[in-house]
Amino acid sequence: MSNPLKVAVLGCGSVGSQVVRLLRAQADDLAARIGAPVELAGVAVRRLDAPREVDVPAELLTTDAMGLVCRGDIDVVVEVIGGIEPARSLILAALENGASVVTANKALLAEDGPTLYEAADKAGRDLYYEAAVAGAIPILRPLRESLAGDKVTRVLGIVNGTTNFILDRMDTAGSGFDEALEEAQALGYAEADPTADVEGFDAAAKAAILASLAFHSRVTAADVHREGISEVTAGDARSARDMGSVIKLLAIAELRTTEGEGGHRDEAVCVRVHPAMIPRSHPLASVREAYNAVFVESEAAGQLMFYGPGAGGAPTASAVLGDLVTVARNHRQGTRGVGESAYADRTVVPMGEARTRYHVAIDVDDRAGVLAAVATAFAGHGVSIQTVRQEGRDDDAQLVVVSHEATDAQLAATVEELRGMDIVRDVTSVMRVEGTEE
Ligand SMILES: NC(=O)C1=CN([C@@H]2O[C@H](COP(=O)(O)OP(=O)(O)OC[C@H]3O[C@@H](n4cnc5c(N)ncnc54)[C@H](OP(=O)(O)O)[C@@H]3O)[C@@H](O)[C@H]2O)C=CC1
Ligand SMILES: N[C@@H](CC=O)C(=O)O
């Protein structure tokens, strides 16, 4: 068998520890698949004395990640530290030093992916990142390779395990938000700073990566409209249940094609992350715990669905090792895998123009004419009402309105008008609704 392939692992937390464990546990299989044994050349961490889920020989542990990457004999660097710096400098240094790179770092890819892709091109090395989106689910390779001959028009999914876990616990076990978040952290699903999960930053980064690959565009996290789940209340969860729905944090990326003069077609992208109510009959409603699911719609293939564990050390390490085998094979053969495709410049559609349905809960005075006045406010902004439910209390009432499709701008104007009406005490909840109109 050939000379060993030297692998440096940067980070030994939830994901890194499982990468190290699997490198050992699967050593023979990996060697057979790659055609060379894999040698763990070093593991970079922040604290040498921290407890680890895996035993790492002291001589392999280092706090000098840059020194490890620049040693000159490393073939593949696995970056599972996370965050922007020092991860970016380490990846760039790895490529400059002739190593291929596997990373799970969606935050960095969504912020500054092109810098990394260009560095990989310049170095003639691979940069693979399947683990960056939806944990163990193979979704980036299908978008980049299997669907390269088709035209993807929409990607819709649950891409954050932590928030799905929290919303699922709120829905099924009546758990409080904080309690469910603590559980998700203990299970290794959450980011180092869980605000990234809760406020939708993590899902937005993944949405940007998905949209970039699906639409062969450069979409960054800054292009993604983002709302997290911190404002979702137990009341919203109850209200969804009463409607036969459930609340999920969705990532949605759409390609909008408009026909201009002379048959010229303009394409723009609309990418957003926000909580939405979906009917329990919708396939995404049955995605429980930290599982993820992604629907892809394309012109020729139609609808495809990808489903599996979206977070956690071992599932994510599975995706990392899949990439490791690919880049290791390429590295040995002196070739590169499929790089990023040529990018088209596409306009980003502002959120105000995104179209969806809405669930609006309005506290109103319980008097004659209220329903008509509220309906007029909706109609005045071009928002047509699909259903209204009225729940009476002593001297006030709650109206729950579900609209037909309208733009975010139309809905925002409606809510502003409602808030200014004397009969309206408060607009207590505004939630988008996804799924077929019934
Ligand atoms: N957890 C998950 O389910 C998933 C995570 N990811 C991504 O994988 C990456 C890693 O996540 P995760 O394992 O959860 O993160 P953790 O916080 O569990 O682990 C991070 C590791 O990086 C080490 N580290 C931090 N700073 C440095 C530094 N300056 N130099 C060297 N080592 C450093 C830490 O060292 P020490 O242990 O000494 O503190 C720790 O071992 C992130 O990009 C994340 O977004 C992707 C998919 C799923
Ligand atoms: N924190 C992330 C980890 C995987 O990407 C999540 O919860 O999905």
Domain range list for the chain: 5-135+314-333, 140-310, 352-433
Interface predicted TM-score (ipTM) = 0.99
| Tens-place pLDDT, residues 154-169 | 999 999 999 999 999 9
CA distance 57 to 426: 61
* Region 5-135+314-333: CATH code: 3.40.50.720
Q: What is the reported pLDDT for 345? A: 79
Catalytic, 206? Answer: yes
- Check if the beta carbon of residue 111 is closer than 8 Å to that of residue 135: no
For the CA of 81, the nearest atom of ligand 1: 22
User: Which residue's CA is the nearest one to ligand 1's atom 43?
Assistant: 82
pTM confidence score? 0.95
pLDDT at res. 126: 97
What local confidence, expressed as pLDDT, does residue 393 receive? 62
- Atom number, ligand 1, closest to the C-alpha of residue 46: 38
Question: Where does 140-310 sit in CATH, by number?
Answer: 3.30.360.10
Mutate to test the pocket of ligand 1, among 9, 10, 14, 89 (most ligand atoms within 8 A of CB): 14
To test ligand 2's pocket by mutation, which of 137, 160, 193 has the most ligand atoms within 8 angstroms of CB?
160
- At residue 315, the pLDDT reads 97
Protein residues whose CB sits closer than 6 Å to any atom of ligand 1: 10-16, 44-47, 50, 65, 80-82, 86, 104-106, 131, 135, 188-189, 191-192, 311-312, 316
Ligand located closest to 192 CA: 1
The CATH number of domain 352-433, selected from 1.10.238.10, 3.30.70.260, 3.40.50.1820, 1.10.1040.10: 3.30.70.260
Q: How far is the CA of 13 from the centre of ligand 1 (A)?
A: 5
Counting as low any pLDDT under 70, the low residues of the chain are 1, 341-342, 392-395, 436-438
Q: Which ligand places an atom closest to the C-alpha of 191?
A: 2
Tell me the best of 130, 162, 288, 289 to mutate to test the pocket of ligand 2, counting ligand atoms within 8 Å of each CB and taking the most: 162
Q: Which residues sit with their C-beta closer than 6 Å to ligand 2?
A: 135, 160-162, 189-191, 197, 202, 310-311
